[in-house]
Chains A and B, each alone.
Chain A
Amino acid sequence: MKLGKNERKTTFLLITIPILALFICFNTIPLIRGVIYSFTNFKGFGKYDWVGFRNYIDLFSDLRVGKSYWFTFKLAIVTTVVVNVLSLLLALALNSSIKAKSFFRGAYFLPNILGALVVGYIFNYFFTYILPAVADMIGIDALRTSILSNPSAAWIGIMVVCAWQAIAMNTIIYISGLQTVPEDVYEAGGLDGATGWKQFKYLTFPLIIPFFSINMVLCVKNFLMVFDQIMALTKGGPAQSTESISYLIYNNGMSGGQFGFQSANAVVFFIVIVAVSVAQMKFSGKKEEQL
């Protein structure tokens, strides 16, 4: 028996140690190296010196970095709201008694499986040629030129593309939430006069709050890290109005000679992501407790 116990312990260690080593090697070590680079003036090649906290101090006075945070958060918040409202509506429709239910569910999930980069390219064409042509036809002056070339509207184009794909995912999650609501809840509610909007507000929504939390966390995290859509639609332009944080780190860090400075940016970004995620989980944890 004792031999058996030791055998089990040894096996578990032999499984855990190499896999943990792999994880440390390609996740923890690069993370630490990133933090170390953030205290240097490394350009990505050649010699470098320690600069202490200078990168961090510069970061907070750098207009371009500030702009990218503003853009990324604006995009993440607006897209999250748009996506969740629309997916909830779609999920309610898809969960009601309709014909060809499985066809609709399958079709509505389609955008999610397509690569974001290629979807971005397709929409790029749509915004550049199709939308202006439509605007021309029906006479909307504001849309006669591509919104992607307008510094104050380009972010809306990116929002649309992000939403187009994310709605598919969130809808499917809301549907699985709606399916957990038992039919007799509605029947009992109906007797008390809860129908339509009232039914949704007092019965349905409170019961699917856990799914709402999942969607919020997924959305915010994904949109804060937005990259492919930027690459395909605007490459950060026009006039650097759509540079997301990830895009700025990639662009200036990998090829712009700001390896050290953008490492500091990445460290701050990491802290921001952790803070936002933890805050969201605390908040949604509290909400669920109240029920």
Chain B
Amino acid sequence: MTIKKTNKAAMIVLILGLSTIILPLYMTLVIAFKQPSEMTNSISGILSLPKAWSLNNFREAMEVTDFWRSLRNSLLITVSTVALSIAVHSLMGYALGRNKSHSKFYSFVYLFIVSGMFVPFAILMMPLAKQTAELGLANWFGVILLYVVFYMPMNVLLYSGYLVNIPMALEEAAKVDGASTWRTYWKIIFPIMKPMHATVAVLTALAVWNDVMTPLVIMAGSGQNTLPLAQLNFQSQFGTNYNLAFASYLLSLIPILIFYIVCQKQILNGVVNGAVK
């Protein structure tokens, strides 16, 4: 093996490219801390550091957008959807994955659900707005239920794909010991699928946390917001006070940034696993 030299050209490209990522984030940070009086029309005025690092903009933005309530709603919806997805989709993936090769019924159900991936939200949105209103589900609970349905095709595909690698012998051994199928699933299969649970959790959490359209269409009349929905609904209230608006944007980005910094490795693995399979 030869010792490799650092690829200098690649380093230069990467450092230059990085600036396109850092600049918008830097801009968000400094504008969020500034006072409207500090904002001039020149570049240096916009991008210079704030005179004082005061948290006043954030305090005001939290009040205007009812930050804590939106955060609570977003957390509630995301955590419930992820937990339900892992439980429900893995069960469905198991039932379909173990039977689709030898049963026409199960292979039909499998294709039926997986082809749901091609259904754009645009065609479901108007009927669903009506349907959830009729059923009294035009609220966060309805949104969770819909997410469990929307992400089912993708997650069932992932789970039943993963199941191929888990030998039947494991289940048969448990059966000899007298365990029921249900018990065997939770005691043996569910724990073995842990890597896939991580992938499903990451993909579902990112998609749900950042989704605007579903809460917009379903929860619009409920008086409740998720974090992104609050940005949309309070946009007009910020008016030309961009400092307040940016403080609010930054606040809404902080939870996911913390999540990313803490679980970066799992997130990158999850995203790659999900896409490649």
Contact = CB atoms under 8 A, between A and B. Distances in A.
Interface stretch (A74-82, A126-134, A148-156): A126-134
A48 to B, nearest CB: 12
A277 B4 CA distance: 42
Contacts of A122: 24, 27-28, 246, 249
A129 B43 CA distance: 9
A99 B12 CA distance: 11
A120 to B, nearest CB: 10
B257 to A, nearest CB: 8
B13 interface: yes
The size class of the interface chain A forms with chain B is 35 or more
B116 to A, nearest CB: 5
A123 interface: yes
Contacts of B268: 105-106, 109, 172
Interface string B99-125: 100000010010011001011111111
A26 B145 contact: yes
Interface string B156-172: 00000000000000000
Contact of B18 (A20, A104, A118, A176): A104
A216 to B, nearest CB: 12
Residues of B in contact with A, size category: 35 or more
A98 B11 contact: yes
Given A12-B99, A262-B126, A225 B120 contact: yes
A53 interface: no
B122 A26 contact: no
Name, among B122, B175, B210, B232, the residue most crowded by chain A CB atoms within 10 Å (CB to CB): B122
Contact of B113 (A23, A130, A259, A273): A23
B14 A7 contact: no
Contact of A259 (B92, B126, B181, B272): B126
Contacts of B244: none
Contact of A126 (B27, B95, B118, B252): B27
A125 interface: yes
Given A23-B149, A269-B120, A277-B118, A89 B228 contact: no
B37 interface: no
Contact of B125 (A8, A254, A274): A254
B51 interface: no
Given A12-B181, A15-B95, A22-B149, A130 B43 contact: yes
A23 B276 contact: no
Contact of B116 (A4, A27, A266): A27
Contact of A108 (B21, B98, B126, B206): B21
Contact of A116 (B121, B129, B212, B235): B212
B122 A246 contact: yes
A19 B264 contact: no
Given A30-B124, A107-B21, 16 more contacts: A15-B91, A16-B95, A23-B113, A27-B124, A33-B127, A37-B127, A97-B4, A108-B18, A113-B210, A113-B256, A113-B259, A115-B227, A133-B43, A133-B46, A245-B122, A246-B120
Interface of A: 4, 7-8, 11-12, 15-16, 19-20, 22-23, 25-27, 29-31, 33-34, 37, 44, 89-90, 92-94, 96-99, 104-119, 121-123, 125-126, 129-130, 133-134, 137, 164, 169, 172-173, 176, 211, 214, 218, 225, 227-228, 231, 245-246, 249-250, 253-254, 259, 262-263, 266-267, 269-270, 273-274, 277
